[in-house]
Amino acid sequence: MRPLTTSRIPSLSGRSILYTSSRWRQGRLQCFSSSARRPCSCSAPSANPVTASKTLRRPPSADNETDYRALGTFQDLFTSSLYSPGSPLFLPNGTHVINKLIGFLRTQYLQYGFREVLTPTIYKRSLWEISGHWVNYKDDMYEVRGRGATGEAEGEVGEDESYGLKPMNCPGHCLLFKSQKHSFRELPVRYADFSPLHRNEVSGSLSGLTRVRRFHQDDGHIFCRPQQIKGEIASALGFVEMVMNTFGLQSYRLVLSTRPEKDFIGSLELWNSAEAQLREALDNTGRPWTLNKGDGAFYGPKIDIQIQDKAGKYHQLSTIQLDMNLPQRFGLEYQVSEREPEYNPETPGKATPVLIHRAIFGSLERFLAILIEQYAGRWPFWMSPRQAIILTVNRTEEVVRYAEMTAAKIAGFRALQQTDGATVPKPLSSVDSTFVVDLDTSSQTLSKKYQRAKQMKYNLIFVVGHKDVQGQQVTVDVTGQLPSMSDQQVLDLEELLETRFRDQALRKPEAFTAPVDEVHDFLVQLEKRFM
């Protein structure tokens, strides 16, 4: 539960959404330029829109309604600093969304067979020389000198080396694979990593969240046998499709990036083999794809998944890269029996794995920018930083206390207060669903509070008054949930509302009553269905 003060909620300016009650699917996007209507019978609507205070943040103008920078500022998602250019600072709301994205992928990793690992941010130069980054990627890396780097201090061998902040996770994952013995029966081995990466981009190329110097990537590396390549790439492409469909980004395009003309490692034979296998994988998708000659990574060709933003510019998100070079450079191997097809008499009992690099979101920062514009700041409930708010009709002790109790029940937890003193609560379980529920018990009129909640794009608005206290209920408005939903999701929501709250919720989705004890389970269902 997060109590709100009036200074945190900008006043309403611009459009509001009015929904019909009888056919609310068709009417969910009908817009009016007048003030937001107050759908609760407890209070009459205000005839005039509220004038914005100079001390309150104004909403994005019509020209910036889908600009992720304006929306990110308005919704308190992220900021930047001259002290760390190209490195976004995420506020609590933005961090909430990022954590939801990471949590979503972590859950999918269970069914796709990935295991998460943790790796260092900094490695010695000698590692980057083995991987080939120092020769082919050094200009885009940060070189760091630590204690003893001048060679004058005593220390272990190599302590006077310079270091490099990692721009990629692949060398570290190669070290992990090499640290253990592997049988052909164990492959594929799949590692996942959310470690922050650093790339020394030129200052003129930096752009908000889409081109940064420090970012988080949902990096994954698959160490597999040659005969497993086809299945692993098909699985990765299926993973991409599932994720893009979940977030409403079905109109992505596939691009095959091939060997660079210079600054690459490995033989032409290996490159040609890898490119041929990626071509076959793309053909098998049944989707159109394009060729981007010479834009592959220095260690292997890749399939890039690109999304077009609202301005028409394409951004790379997901990537799938086939690499037969790094495993050789790191001397990676697995045990193989004589009966297996990859058995080589010249290296009896040993074979070199193939490495598949893959990222589904790609840069989480860039993916977030695409989502901000995709949803125009109206987040699906399950990942929204403003999932719900409770508004009180008045400030009587009875209503305020009931509102606080209701917030705790809906959120799934009770936030500790200073008045609790030294009370030590029981720990919350990480498997229990909890939700972001704000509380506005300010002295402003209900109409103004309601208008502000609408402008702040809360998914759900709850209103409590004296009648709700008496009936142990809450008045619910679900119409803020609709703009981010597909037509099929609206049908699913209709079914869910009718099942739980009967047809009164369909007749009046902007103001129906629900037993307070049943609301939390309703929110759990919204979350499970990614609504």
> Residue holding tokens 């098909």?
234
- Rounded to the nearest 10 degrees, the angle between the axes of helix 229-246 and helix 268-285 is 50
Q: Where are the beta strands (DSSP E) in 364-511?
A: 388-392, 437-440, 460-464, 473-477
Q: What is the mean pLDDT of residues 95-102?
A: 97
pLDDT band at residue 497, thresholds of 50, 70 and 90? very high
Q: Using the predicted structure, report yes or no on whether residue 525 has a pLDDT greater than 90.
A: yes
pLDDT (average), residues 99-114: 96
Q: Which residues of 301-332 are buried (b: 16+ CB within 10 A; e: fewer)?
A: bbbbbbbebeeeeebbbbbbbbbbbbbbbbeb
Q: What is the mean pLDDT of residues 342-354?
A: 91
pTM of the model: 0.84
Q: Which residues pair with 437 in a beta bridge?
A: 388
Compare 25 and 281 and report the one with higher pLDDT. Answer: 281
pLDDT of residue 7: 34
What is the reported pLDDT for 420? 65
- Given its phi and psi angles, is residue 407 left (phi above 0), alpha (psi -120 to 50 degrees) or beta? alpha
Cβ(44)–Cβ(445) under 8 Å? no
Taken in order of first residue, the domains within the chain and their CATH numbers are 90-120+168-375 (3.30.930.10), 381-415+434-530 (3.40.50.800)
266-317 pLDDT, tens digit each: 788 878 888 888 888 899 888 899 888 888 888 888 899 998 887 788 888 9
pLDDT at 438: 96
Asked if 127 and 111 count as a contact pair (C-beta separation under 8 A), the reply is no
pLDDT of residue 135: 87
Confidence of residue 62 (pLDDT cuts 50, 70, 90): low
Q: Residue 4: what pLDDT?
A: 55
The predicted pLDDT at position 148 comes to 59
| Per-residue pLDDT at 371 | 94
Question: Residue 490 burial by CB count (10 A; 0-12/13-18/19+): exposed, middle or buried?
Answer: middle
For residue 101 the two structure tokens come to: 């994205």
* Whole-number pLDDT of residue 203: 84
What is the pLDDT at residue 55?
Answer: 33
What pLDDT, on the 0 to 100 scale, is given for residue 49? Answer: 33
DSSP state of 9: S
Give per-residue pLDDT as tens, 389-435.
999 999 999 999 999 999 999 999 988 876 666 778 888 888 889 99
Instruction: Retrieve residue 400's tokens.
Output: 């305020």
Question: In this predicted structure, what is the pLDDT of residue 156?
Answer: 57
pLDDT value, residue 515: 96
List, for residues 356-367, the tens digit of each pLDDT value: 999 999 999 999
Single-letter amino acid, residue 223: F
State mean pLDDT over 57-69.
64
Tokens of 465: 């008054």
Percent of the chain with pLDDT over 70: 85
Higher local confidence (pLDDT), 470 or 159: 470
Average pLDDT, the chain: 84
Reply yes or no on whether the pLDDT at 17 is more than 70. no
The tens digit of pLDDT for each residue in 27-48 reads 443 332 223 333 333 333 333 3
Looking at residue 78, its pLDDT comes to 95
- Quote the CA–CA distance of 87 and 85 in Å, as a whole number: 5
Query: Beta strands 115-116 and 189-193: pairing type?
Result: parallel
DSSP states along 310-365 = TTS-EEEEEEEEEESSHHHHTT--EE--TTSTT--TTSTTEEPPEEEEEEEEEEHH
Nearest to 248 by CA among 379, 156, 342: 379
Q: What percent of the chain has pLDDT over 90?
A: 58
Task: Express each pLDDT in 137-153 by its tens digit.
Answer: 888 999 988 765 653 44
For residue range 229-275, what is the model confidence (pLDDT) as tens digits?
Answer: 999 999 999 999 999 999 999 889 999 988 888 878 778 887 888 88
* pLDDT per residue as tens digits for the range 179-227: 999 999 999 999 999 999 999 988 877 888 988 999 999 999 999 998 9
Q: Residues 67-71: what's their mean pLDDT? A: 89
pLDDT at 21 (0 to 100): 36
CA dist 42 and 39 (Å) reads: 9
Q: Tell me the average pLDDT across 12-39.
A: 35
